[in-house]
Amino acid sequence: MIKIAPSILSADFSKLAQEVKDVEQGGADYIHIDIMDGRFVPNITMGPIIVEAIRPVTSLPFDVHLMIEDPDRYIDDFVNAGADIISVHAEACTHLHRTVHLIKQRGLKAGVVLNPATPIEWIIDILPDVDLVLLMTVNPGFGGQKFIPNVLKKIRRIHELKEENGWTFEIEVDGGINEETAKLCVEAGANVLVAGSAVYRSKNRREAIQAIRGS
Ligand code: DX5
Ligand code: ZN
């Protein structure tokens, strides 16, 4: 079962509630929310108050992608704002095990994220504890970038490790996902596809979601 997580980073923020409802009606499985602090990544986006503001608009799970340094400081704010899944970058956590368990103790699903150039070894020891592994297929910071094909090897390897060990985490990809690159990622073992511009820049979001899902 392939899940589609439209990233609201590419939505029209002047009518954000409507944009969230539109992808829910279009068949989205998660709402992907990109939080950037201007330090871990060059861009600044939104904080917990936006997450809280759109929480009543949809019943879809909020898939919160934290691109911030030292994310432990803000976990509770995003929990209280209504996040369902919180993912943190291995590169941004000094004590990744502590951060993952902080998220889980709050009753949420915890994900770990790797930038395109970060090796799997960085997260190998935490894999039994996580609910989701997010492999970046662009360098995080902006929507609308080009897919980096070299990450496919990493998706395959994570998928193999998951199968060998009987782990149940989801494998998510994020960045430059469209109909074509989605297919490659699914073949490699991904089951959650984030798509920003491919969904929000298309007039018919339902058709875009279906095309990316491949059905
Ligand atoms: C990139 C963000 C992505 C971004 C994806 O830093 O994490 O979620 O919104 O946008 P597209 O699908 O346009 O590459
Ligand atoms: Zn993201």
Contacts made by residues 197-201, CB under 8 angstroms, sequence distance 24+: 197/10, 197/143, 197/144, 199/4, 199/6, 199/7, 199/10, 199/23, 199/26, 199/28, 200/6, 200/7, 200/8, 200/10, 200/11, 200/12, 200/19, 200/23, 201/10
Smallest CA separation from ligand 1 atom 9, residue: 143
Residues of the chain with pLDDT under 50: none
What confidence tens digit (pLDDT) does each residue in 150-196 have? Answer: 999 999 999 999 999 999 999 999 999 999 999 999 999 999 999 99
Task: Determine whether the shortest distance from the Cβ of 89 to ligand 1 is under 6 A.
Answer: no
Ligand 1 contact, 195 CB (< 6 A):
yes
Residue 118 sits in a domain whose CATH number is: 3.20.20.70
Catalytic residue flag (residue 22):
no
Q: Judge whether 72 counts as a catalytic residue.
A: no
Output the pLDDT for position 93: 98
Number of domains in the chain: 1
- Ligand 1: residue whose CA is nearest its atom 6: 140
List 29, 34, 37, 63, catalytic entry: 34
pLDDT score, position 215: 79
Q: Is 134 in the pocket of ligand 1 (CB under 6 A)?
A: no
pLDDT at position 169 is 98
Domain of 13, in residue numbers: 3-213
- In this prediction, the answer to ipTM > 0.90 reads yes
Of 29, 63, 131, 174, which residue is the catalytic one? 174
